[in-house]
Amino acid sequence: MLLISYWSIVLAFAARSTDDVDPFGPFALGLALVPFVYLILAFVSVHRSAPAAVMAGMGLALVVGAIMLFLSGNPVVAVVAGYASGGVVALRPEPGVQLRRRAVGAVAGTVLVWILLAVAEPVAIFFAPAIPLTAIGMSDGLAAPSDAGE
């Protein structure tokens, strides 16, 4: 779902530069799939309050994505930041893992995409949908051993 939503939104922003394609359709499809991304994430991770987590993830993704689009001017960075920030709250919190660590992972993933876009744009655009949730998962994985006392 995330991949289809990401590519639809990126296609809509790319279609803005041409007069042949109406960008509204792909953009609407991409935004319509955002709730399903967080729905799957919350329910598969067995979040205690999955409906509230889905709503919080959607709201946070839209707000952070809009702010990042305004600040960076790059839709790929905005989409990655939106998905990462929404994933922070939609994914079930692991025992002993703080949301602050996930937020740091989300910021790190967004910064990585921003740097990759400057260095190797085609590679960054291709791999960007895999980065947000992977960064959150890695921050959970890196935090878990130190929090467990190992």
pLDDT digits (tens, 9 = 90+) for 57-116: 999 999 999 999 999 999 999 999 999 999 999 999 887 778 899 999 999 999 999 999
- Helix, strand, coil shares of the chain as percentages rounded to 5? 80, 0, 20
Q: How far is Cα 82 from Cα 90, in angstroms, rounded to an integer?
A: 12
Residues in the chain: 150
Residue with tokens 């935004």: 31
Within 10 angstroms of residue 146's Cβ, the number of other Cβ atoms is 10
Question: In the prediction, which pLDDT does 28 show?
Answer: 93
Q: How far is Cα 101 from Cα 32, in angstroms, rounded to an integer?
A: 29
Q: How far is Cα 20 from Cα 59, in angstroms, rounded to an integer?
A: 32
Q: Give the tens place of pLDDT for each residue, 37-46.
A: 999 999 999 9
Tell me the HSE value of 138 on the side-chain side, using a 13 A CA sphere: 13
pTM equals 0.87
C-alpha separations of 132 from 15, 21, 68 in Å: 24, 29, 14
Q: In the structure encoding, which two tokens stand for residue 7, read together? A: 């590519």
Residue type at position 100: R
How does the average pLDDT of the chain come out, rounded?
Answer: 89
